[in-house]
Amino acid sequence: MVTALRRPASLVIATLALGLTVVSLPSCKDENPLTGESPSSVIFPTNDVKFNRDVQTLFNQACTLSGCHDDNPSNTSALRLTSHWNTVFAVPGVVVAGSPGQSTLVLRIEGALGPRMPPRGNPLNKNQTDGIRTWIVEGAPNN
């Protein structure tokens, strides 16, 4: 008998055989488990978007600390949103500097290509999506 229970920060799978084995696996979540902040607390300026101040802060809240796009070796995603290099260069096409409409990152967060990201919880709000678009239009600099 297999029972799956969803907890806020993990997916717990209990397997009953000769005993009870519990395996805890990270799952994507809508708030930072360390600070309790949700991605909605990240507000982008209308121009001069900074990667470190704005984009990486959002990724830390919505994408990396949730267990989806972090540097954990057990992470099944090839995309690690933990640094500018990982975001812009590690997986070709994720960010096409100057062209948000050709950037997989934008297409995925808007739900235009494959499942919307993040897949659980609230989608990024319009300010955040527009902010990522602006950063890409501005050349996706490492600033």
Q: In whole angstroms, give the CA distance from residue 64 to residue 29.
A: 10
35, 38, 1: which is closest to 18 by C-alpha? 1
Average of per-residue pLDDT values in the chain: 77
Single-letter amino acid, residue 117: M
Residues of the chain with pLDDT > 90: what percent?
55
Q: What is this structure's pTM?
A: 0.72
Q: Answer yes or no: is pLDDT of 115 > 80.
A: yes
Return the amino acid letter for 25: L
Is 126:46 a contact under the CB 8 Å cutoff? no
Domain ranges of the chain: 28-137
Write the CA distances from 17 to 2, 3, 22, 25, integer angstroms. Answer: 9, 12, 11, 20
Which are the contacts of 87, defined by CB distance < 8 A and separation ≥ 6?
51, 55, 59, 81, 94, 95, 105
Write out the E strands in the chain. 2-6, 10-16, 20-26
pLDDT: is 66 or 135 the higher one? Answer: 135
Q: What is the DSSP secondary structure assignment for residue 13, as one 8-state letter?
A: E
* Chain segment 1-16, per-residue pLDDT in tens: 433 333 333 322 222 2
